[in-house]
Amino acid sequence: MILPPKYHLLVLWGFAVAQPVYDLMGRYPAFLTAHHLTGLQILALAGVLSFLIPVSLWGMLSLVGKIHRATGLVLHTIVIAVLVALIVYAAVWKLVTIPWVIAGIFATLIWLLALWGYTATRAGRAVVTVLTPAVIVFPAIFILTEPVSKYLFAPDATPKTSTARAHATPPIVMVVFDELPTSVLTGGGPSIDAERFPNFAKLANGSYWFRNATAVDTRTEWALPAILTGQYKIVGQVRAPTVNDYPRNLFTLLSGTYQMRVSEPLTDLCPTDVCSRSLRSASLNTVRRLILDVTTVYMHIVTPPPWRAKLPPINQAWADFGIFRMDQRAADIDDYGRHRQAQEFIRSIEASPAPRLYFMHSNLPHMPYEYFPSGTIYFRHALIRGIHKRNNLDVWSDDSLALAEATQRFVLQVRFVDRIVGNLIARLQQQKLYDEALIIITADHGVSIRAGDLRRGISEVNQRDIAGVPLFIKTPKQKRGVVSDRNVELVDILPAIADVLGLPLDWPTDGRSPFTGPERSHKTMFDGWRQWRLPSDLMIPSDRTRRRWGEETGDGGFAGDLVGQRLNQLQIERPARRSAVVMNARLYEDVRRESFVPAHVVGHVSGNPPGIIAVALNGRIEAVTRTYPGASGERVEFSALLPELAFKEGANRLTLLQVDRLAAGPPRLIQIY
């Protein structure tokens, strides 16, 4: 029996929309955790995605058909055609590696053939009828298989407090940053760059700085549980970053002794009853942000690869990437952004008669790069240039300008992290807690910016950038800093805390205290399911490891002598027609410097595009850049980052100049915006 065509809409919707979204969420459970979805909300999501939306669409088409049968049939055919197209094109973009134009033609032919088979043949409709169980099977597989099933059916873990009591109960402050390599702080040298990162240098001067410390995983959803449990992940075992999957961790260990103030935006490792009054990372309205994010993820699935550059990026965070308007994005970052999380966490630290654990996992300096060192936002809602996919991994291109810009923006954001560390130290001193506190500052893993190499995956070239992470442990009453080149891994943090507290661990760990435990002979790090065995002295500095991460200002080696010059002192040609277009140009009309400055200037040039562009603000040249082919290959684009202090309150005047180098004399300057 062949079902009526109206029922086929549910089947095709399942293949075209529901299953691709289920597949992504099932493979990346951190997406669910980042949105802090409960089991009931996940069930509701599956119900809406698999039933409510397609049934509503079906109902509307049926209503139109009752009013006007011919119109209803036409609309039904159009919807079926769109769903078949989504299935075919998404599959082609995923499976075919030929040039996208040829792949698009190939996909169109398959789509037309499939559409003809469905509309013109009984066999085509019979195939869809046979696939009807998918309407139930797809959401069932999503809900009933790990790791999603653990969000729904696993009982809440109860704290497994150690039977032994701690000999000491100092205040504990632990901060885990994200994508922060040691090499950016040191430049590969023996000490921290105190000029760029004065607060990290100050922290090192009064703590144990384990200079040879390394992460154990390249993915936050596995790295953070490893830090908090002291255990490596089990290869092949998919686990959600929740307390149900990791019932023995730092929070459950200390829950019987310590009050908790915990901020963990991407994990749920602290039991609800323990952290019910703890800090919860501020976020956008859950429903709104989830709808936007799921929509954005789906658009990346079905959009041709070159056009994805025009979509909000989904590889820079686990949530809140679905906000399309630049001014709204800036406002939301100011209200709910990562700086707000840090501010609220630091403000929560206060003297207390009861021992407290203050813990924060900050998604800084992870992409997106959006902060100046002051904390002012300049975010431009666009991909970091120079990144492409290879085997589903981010790889840097050989574009030297794109890498220089990415490095510049990254270092600026790391300097903001340094400011957060300074504010944390100041708060502890203000509350008279610094001297007696046990303080741990680290990062879950590093990141690399090298031409032609992986951004987050490990390679033979970037091991120091990915594996090497800062680890500072200030013990109670410690006055003088100690630099240690001991072979330390982040699974050693939990045993170190237990060691300082005099608290025996009641579960086996892969970590060992860096203060008393035996030293291991090599380093272990996981990249996906691959386990790397790294040399024990990987992060010990030497002359060959020196590499200072980019300069925060500069001109890329071209026309840099123009930076700082006033326009009224230069000879500038002003043609009647201007050939440049600046994205979100209206943002320069009313700047409020306390929260956001549109310092990342992005746009495109028409006509005969120049090679070099000087960017002036309020009559002074602040940056020089060169143009590059756009992602789609259809136009020439430019990008430049202006200094924060170049902006003034209110209206700011932006000017773009084409720079033509002449054989002799000063360059020819032509105003193009």
Q: What is the pLDDT of residues 149-194, one digit of tens each?
A: 877 766 554 545 555 566 779 999 999 999 999 999 998 789 999 9
409 shares its domain with 506: yes
The band of 667, judged by pLDDT with boundaries at 50, 70 and 90, is confident
Rounded Cα distance between 447 and 457, Å, is 8
Q: Is 545 exposed, middle or buried (0-12, 13-18, 19+ CB in 10 A)?
A: middle
Q: Mean pLDDT: which of 37-46, 313-322, 427-436 is highest?
A: 427-436
CB atoms within 10 A of CB 229: 24
pLDDT at 196: 94
Query: Does residue 300 lie within any of the structural domains?
Result: no
- Identify whether residues 181 and 61 lie together within a single domain: no
Residue (of 606, 604, 615, 614) closest to 659 by Cα position: 614
Does residue 283 carry a pLDDT above 50?
A: no
Residue 284: the pLDDT is 45
**Residue 106 and residue 243 in one domain:** no
Q: How far apart are CA 55 and CA 10, in angstroms?
A: 7
Tell me what pLDDT residue 343 has.
93
Is a pLDDT exceeding 50 seen at residue 646? yes
Burial of 485 (0-12, 13-18, 19+ CB in 10 A): middle
The answer to whether residues 127 and 200 belong to one domain is: no
Residue 57: other Cβ atoms inside 10 A: 17
Whether the pLDDT of residue 325 is over 60: the answer is no
Residue 378 near residue 597, CB atoms below 8 Å: yes
Residue appearing with tokens 């610094």: 434
65 phi and psi, to 5 degrees? -65, -35
In a domain, 525, yes or no: yes
Mean pLDDT within 490-509: 94
Q: State whether 97 and 23 are in the same domain.
A: yes
Q: Do 564 and 537 reside in the same domain of the chain?
A: no
Q: What is the pLDDT of residue 163?
A: 54
Section 528-544 average pLDDT: 87
Angstrom distance (rounded) from CA 134 to CA 144 = 15
Cβ–Cβ under 8 Å, residues 123 and 117: yes
pTM of structure: 0.82
Pairing of strands 387-390, 393-396: antiparallel
223 is a domain residue: yes
Tokens 């930076």: give the residue.
563
- What would the pLDDT profile of 92-120 be if each residue is shown by its tens digit? 877 766 777 788 888 888 888 888 888 88
Residue 281's pLDDT band, with cuts at 50, 70 and 90, is very low
Indicate if the pLDDT at residue 213 is higher than 80: yes
User: Does residue 569 sit in the same domain as residue 540?
Assistant: no
Q: Is the pLDDT of residue 277 over 60?
A: no
Residue 159 counted as domain residue: no
Q: 665 and 593 in one domain?
A: yes
Instruction: Give the up-direction half-sphere exposure of residue 395: CA atoms within 13 A in the CB hemisphere.
Output: 12
- The model's confidence at residue 250, banded by pLDDT at 50, 70 and 90, is very high
CATH number of domain containing 255? 3.40.720.10
Q: Is the domain of 22 the same as that of 90?
A: yes
What residues contact residue 173 under an 8 Å CB cut-off, 6+ apart? 349, 358, 424, 428, 433, 437, 438, 439, 440
Q: How many domains does the chain have?
A: 3
Is 232 within a domain?
yes
Secondary structure element (H or E) that encloses residue 416, with its range: helix 400-430
Structure tokens, 124: 């085509």
Alpha helix segments (H runs only) across 269-387: 286-302, 326-336, 338-348
Question: Distance between CA atoms of 437 and 435, rounded to whole angstroms?
Answer: 6
Identify whether 613 is part of a domain: yes
Q: What is the mean pLDDT of residues 214-242?
A: 92
User: Which residue type is seen at 340?
Assistant: R
Task: Print the domain residue range for 663.
Answer: 560-671
Report yes or no on 269 lying in a domain: yes
In this prediction, residue 468 carries a pLDDT of 95
Do residues 494 and 351 both lie within one domain?
yes
442 and 587 belong to one structural domain: no
Structural domain contains residue 493: yes
pLDDT of 553 > 50? The answer is no
- Beta pairing, strands 482-484 & 208-210: parallel
Mean pLDDT of 556-579: 80
Give dist(CA 558, CA 352) in Å, integer: 57
State the Cα angle at 478 between 476 and 480, rounded to 5°: 165
Final residue in a domain of this structure, among 153, 184, 211: 153
Q: Is the pLDDT of residue 4 over 80?
A: no
Distances (CA, A) of 517 to 406, 488, 492, 510, 525: 40, 10, 9, 11, 20
Residues 517 and 587 in one domain: no
337-359 average pLDDT score? 92
